[in-house]
Chain A
Amino acid sequence: MLIGRIDAIKRTTRKLLYTLTIMTVLLISAIPSMAEINVLYMAQAGYQPDEYIEMARSFEAETGIKVNISFENYDDQYEKIVAEAKKPISKYDVILLDLIWTAEFGGKYFVLPLDNKLTPAMKKDIAPVILDAFIYADQIWAMPFLANFHLFFYNMDYIIEAGFSRPPKTLEELEYQMRVMKQKGIIKHPWFDSWREKEVLVCEYIWLTGAFGGNTFSEKGEPIFNNGPGLKALQFMVNLLDEGSANPMSLEADELLAKDVFISGDAAFTSNWTFLYAFMNNPEVSNIVGAGKIGFLPVAEEFYDKYEYYSSSVSGFQGLAIMSNSQHPHEAWQYIRFITAPEVQRTHLEEMPVWLSIQNDPEVRSIDPVMELKVKELASVHHRPKLVDYYEVSTIMQKYIFLALKKKLTPKEALDKAVKEIRKSRGREQ
């Protein structure tokens, strides 16, 4: 009797469940499906968060795909990506990939290769020096998005006040002009730069090593910066501090503080990313509108003729990549394709477009009078080395270069120790 009753209850419950299931399915199918992607972006030099959000909103309006953006600072971005790459499903679908991570993230399949997604026409239209930065083991691992590189920024008023008619072309001229400015009491420390113990310090060191005619690593990825150009570059930085030409506060400064100091008028010279140009000419934030100019970063006189445009710079390109464990790779590519499109970059000329067709467009050149200069400086960039262990290598370089700038070690001692530690980290030296 009891079992009979239980069976009856079960039958009724089952009927109810079927009915509920059918109703739920009908209800769900009536709601239009709305995909959603998550993006991890770095808030630093380059496109600022507001601009990036604006691009994402345009994409949402066009496709109906919702974009959730998480902003991280540069130092945390790497850790976040590595942590997500090791999970079965990544929280993020699209990440901003700094060119220095290409070898590691591609080599470990953290991100998906994009070779099949870029058409031959697209590949042809992207500046080769930019596309090359995202190639590792013959595959493309990120879509170029931000063509950031260093430019030379100078205050023409101070140069004229010091009795010169043009900015310095060589590092020797630069040193001389700064000495005169100091002697005449025009400015206490003419050079201000972002030399804090972070990745940007390596960037500064790379272009200066280039300015002394060399590279920091051999083609086989071996460190060679403790002699020749690398040593001269660090010695040059230390000399600027010793003479008082470089502001000691540079050792605490990142690119944003260096930008603020230069546009306030408290520096005569600086090297910084392309984004400074827009700030420098904005009267709402700048004290040097009209006086602030951009030019080619100077090189040592000895190597002046070595480079086509007599300059040496450093690349800081960033691309957009799809996590290999993303749930929405198709939507992720749609998003990347949209915000890197030439049409979008044409409306954001405050940053250097990655497309040759935009860089060379006469209309763009008439809007941006320094586009030609930027194209030439872009051709003068040095990449940081493509190493699978770049993160460790860079950390070691930052540490020892900074110790030399703080006068804890001589430049030679610092760089020798850095090379030794890099070799040790690779298991080549005990």
Chain B
Amino acid sequence: MILRKLSFKKKLVIAFIGVVSIVGIISIYSSSQLIRNKLEQALHEQTMNIIEGVENSVEEKKREILELTSLYAGSKKVVDYTSYGMKHMVRREIMALRKSGGLASLEIMDTSGKLFATAKSAGELFTAAEEGVEESKVDEYLVQRVLNGSSEVYLGGRGSKIGIWAIVPLEKFNEIIGMMQASYLLDLNFIEELKRITTADISLFTGEELSLTTLPSESFSLKPELLNEVLLKKKKLVDNMVIANEFYKIGLTPLLRKDGTLLGMIMVSLPKRGMISLASQARNRLLIIGGLGVFLALFLGYLIAEHLISRPISKLVRGAAAISAGDLDQEIIIDTQDEIGVLAGTFNEMRKKLREAHAKLENRIELVNKELEESNKELERANKELEKTNKENLELYEKVKQFNKELKREIALATKELEESNRKLIYLNEYNDNILRCMNSGVMVMDLDGKITTLNAVGERILNLSSEELKDVSLHDIRRIEGLSRLLAKTLKTEKTYVGHEVTIIQMLDKNPGNKMIPLQVSTSVLRDNNHRALGVIAVFRDISQIKQLEEQLQRSKKLAALGEMSAGVAHEIRNPLGVIKSSAQMLRDEFKPVETRDEYQELTTFIIEEVNRLNRVITEFLSFARPTPPNLQEVNVNEIINKTIQLIASQEKVTPDVKIKVESSKNLPLLMGDPEQIIQALLNVVLNSLQAMPEGGELRITVRRADDAEEKYHPSLLQIQITDSGEGIPVSIRDKIFNPFFTTKEEGSGLGLAIVHKIIENHKGFIEVESEVEKGTTFKIFLPLAA
């Protein structure tokens, strides 16, 4: 009865709800059962996979321990220490290796298996002895295999411990000199690492006793039938178990010794709470999804009833009502081809016949158009006003354009002036640079910050510094030219001008003999701008080493001249009484001979005469120095002079066979202006002096060339004779005294040899220089004028 009263739409909806609810409940129940079974199966497979993973990890660990042991056995230190019998050093080495490798023990055995050195972790004595063999011996079978070059790795156990052993040969030059055995404990760290990798709890059993576990509880026992399967049949299996009131899926796998006997087993445990929770979650979700599905089905049913049935009928009802109210514009649109669609078509036909009445509405449309025309006229007026404003703006733009033109002209003028100034400045700079480059002295300019702004090429050469090096450096930071920098600072401070000031700097040389001290003559002045403001300091300096050297030479010559004049007089006065002593001694020896002490008398008087003769020789030599014979100047071939000198040297007893004499000269040398006898005398004295500096032999090198061929600083009208020895050298402390008369370092020398050389060269209007380095040798450079 109630159903009959309901609308057509409601009847349809109720029928739809009934069908959808029954189908939904059946689907949810069967799906949740299916999911539960699948999860159980997946957990089983996961447990089996984890067991395989654990077995692989144990195998991987065995390989790792074997590789580590082989690596350690290849250590050069371990091999060398073992081969040289250094058991303390090898022990120290393997202790470090054991620690770094995380091993329980590391041992070295000799080729008979006897223990040589051992390293164990504290409290975990895990050695060969504990594996069931003798303390000092390893299993004979293993020894033989290792001696044959084989490496072994295996599982083993003792008490409640299970571990991995690896044993490898120790080889040196392809010969086996011993063995290395390592052990690794399957400890809590190991099973925790397994747990980390597999996400399952791991338990290690030694035999059937639990030894280590990551489970929260150790109080559980395995079913006897499970133990039977694993321990006796050595199978791996999966089962369910309750541990500490929780459901677990467990997997068991046996651990076997090398010979296949059982050592223990590993159990993996996966808690099932996750799976149970997942199943209930799945069921709940299915319920929710099913409910939502029913709701959606109802909603869709409603929409279908509304759109396909109820709404077209309503449209027909509304259309009929509108026509009856006089509204002929409303068309009834129904797309369906069913009965409702045909009915709607009939209604629309009726509406068309009534449309003529619409003509009345067209008059109204014309009225609206007129109003639009009025609005357009208003718009044109507004446009005209806008054009007027635009014209005014254009005039303003022209004015701005003119102003810009003037501005550009002014900039062009200013730029031209600047370019002219720049050209002048560049010319001025080049002019200054040329002046600086052409100067023979060093020129340096230091600014108020102590930075070098200018240093010409001569300056760079004297100071051995490049402008590049000085770019970011304060002059005061370069200690070796401290003398120069102090003078510059003083000039800046006092604002005075210093002329001809002498300072000393260290000149650094790239080649031997390294650095040297050189004197500089410096003039400084404050550099100012047009407004008399100080800009910095300018210094002009030159290397006066050569001037100093010449001054020293001049000083020496003066000293020698004075000493010679004075000593010549004294020598003359000594010589007269010596003549009397000598003739008296000769008379005594020849005419007043005693009878009894005749031999002794003869000896003493001869001694007096010999000593007087020696004194006479010295005085003669000295007089030839003090009052030298003026040189008989003539054109001389220098090569002939050198040859004669060499011949005279060869006849001297002082020349030892260990001295090699080398002469380097050119045949085309120009003639020399000099006294050949005196020049030979001078060369002979220098060469003899050099030979005496080489008592154990060495090399004497005589080089002859034009002076300017040797060094540019010398004048081309001079000839240079250079005598170089490889002797002991002349210490700096006595270098300026060697040309002084009577200065000698030899016990038997008169000290006149080099003084005479100096005198002869000086009388020839030449000069002599000496360079020497202790323990390396000495070079004398003699300069003589060429014939015109």
Contact = CB atoms under 8 A, between A and B. Distances in A.
B414 A221 contact: no
A277 interface: no
A266 interface: yes
Contacts of B414: 2-3
A265 B88 contact: yes
A295 interface: no
B775 A220 contact: yes
A428 B725 CA distance: 10
A88 B506 contact: no
Contacts of A261: 86, 89
A1 interface: yes
A427 B726 contact: yes
Contacts of A403: none
A426 to B, nearest CB: 8
A130 B333 CA distance: 123
Interface in B133-192: none
Nearest to B726: A428
B461 to A, nearest CB: 15
Given A2-B407, A266-B87, A324-B506, A108 B514 contact: yes
Contact of A189 (B84, B92, B510, B733): B84
A387 B513 contact: no
A77 interface: no
Interface string A326-351: 11010000000000000000000000
B506 A221 contact: no
B479 A326 contact: yes
B85 interface: yes
B696 interface: yes
Given A108-B514, A138-B733, A247 B86 contact: yes
Nearest to A86: B508
Contact of B515 (A108, A260, A264): A108
B631 interface: no
Given A88-B473, A427-B726, A264 B84 contact: no
A137 interface: yes
Contacts of A220: 696, 728, 775
Interface in B698-745: 698-699, 726, 728, 731-733
B88 A327 contact: no
Nearest to B695: A220
Contacts of A388: 513, 775-776
Interface residues of B, number: 40
A113 to B, nearest CB: 12
B94 to A, nearest CB: 13
A9 B775 CA distance: 70
B480 interface: yes
Interface string A213-234: 0000010111000000000000
A89 interface: yes
Given A2-B411, A109-B506, A329 B479 contact: yes
Contacts of B25: none
Interface string B496-525: 000000000010101001111100000000
B410 interface: yes
A325 B85 contact: no
B611 interface: no
A427 B701 CA distance: 12
A49 interface: no
Chain A interface residue number, banded: 35 or more
A230 to B, nearest CB: 17
A260 B89 contact: yes
Interface string A87-111: 0110000000000000000011110
A287 interface: yes
Given A110-B514, A428-B726, A221 B775 contact: yes
Binding site secondary structure of chain A: loop
Nearest to B727: A220
Interface in B469-489: 469-470, 473, 477-480
Most chain A beta-carbon contacts within 10 A, residue among B85, B411, B506, B775:
B775
B84 A2 contact: no
A89 B470 CA distance: 11
B465 interface: yes
Given A2-B411, A108-B513, A137 B731 contact: yes
Contact of B479 (A108, A222, A260, A325): A325
Given A188-B84, A264-B86, A266-B88, A88 B478 contact: yes
A324 B480 contact: yes
B445 to A, nearest CB: 18
Contacts of B470: 88
B565 interface: no
B7 to A, nearest CB: 92
A264 B89 contact: yes
B385 to A, nearest CB: 39
A248 B80 CA distance: 9
Nearest to A247: B84
A304 B702 CA distance: 49
B410 A2 contact: yes
Contact of A324 (B80, B473, B479, B733): B479
Nearest to B463: A88
A138 B774 CA distance: 12
A107 B513 contact: yes
Contacts of A287: 88
Nearest to B698: A428
B746 to A, nearest CB: 15
A180 interface: no
Contacts of A409: none
Contacts of B517: 109
Interface string A174-192: 0000000000000111000
A329 B510 CA distance: 23
A138 B510 CA distance: 25
A222 B465 contact: no
A108 B510 CA distance: 10
Contact of A327 (B92, B477, B513): B477
A89 B775 contact: no
Interface string A63-87: 0000000000000000000000010
A332 B407 CA distance: 65
A249 interface: yes
A137 B730 CA distance: 12
Interface string B744-788: 000000000000000000000000000000111000000000000
Contacts of B699: 427-428
B85 A188 contact: yes
Interface in A220-273: 220-222, 247-249, 252, 260-261, 264-266
Given A88-B473, A325-B480, A428-B698, A387 B775 contact: yes
Contacts of A222: 696
Contacts of A86: 508, 510
Most chain A beta-carbon contacts within 10 A, residue among B89, B411, B479, B516:
B479
A326 B506 CA distance: 13
Contact of B465 (A88, A187, A265): A88
A281 B83 CA distance: 28
Nearest to A138: B733
Contacts of B473: 88-89
Contacts of A189: 84-86
27 contacts: A1-B410, A2-B407, A88-B465, A88-B477, A88-B480, A89-B473, A108-B515, A109-B516, A110-B514, A138-B733, A188-B85, A188-B86, A189-B85, A218-B696, A220-B728, A220-B775, A222-B696, A247-B86, A249-B81, A252-B80, A260-B89, A266-B89, A287-B88, A324-B506, A388-B775, A428-B698, A428-B699
Nearest first, the 7 closest Cβ-Cβ pairs linking A and B are: A108-B514, A188-B85, A264-B88, A266-B86, A109-B515, A265-B88, A266-B88
Interface of A: 1-3, 86, 88-89, 107-110, 137-138, 187-189, 218, 220-222, 247-249, 252, 260-261, 264-266, 287, 324-327, 329, 387-388, 426-428
Given A2-B411, A266-B81, 10 more contacts: A3-B414, A86-B508, A89-B473, A89-B478, A89-B479, A109-B517, A188-B86, A249-B84, A324-B479, A426-B726
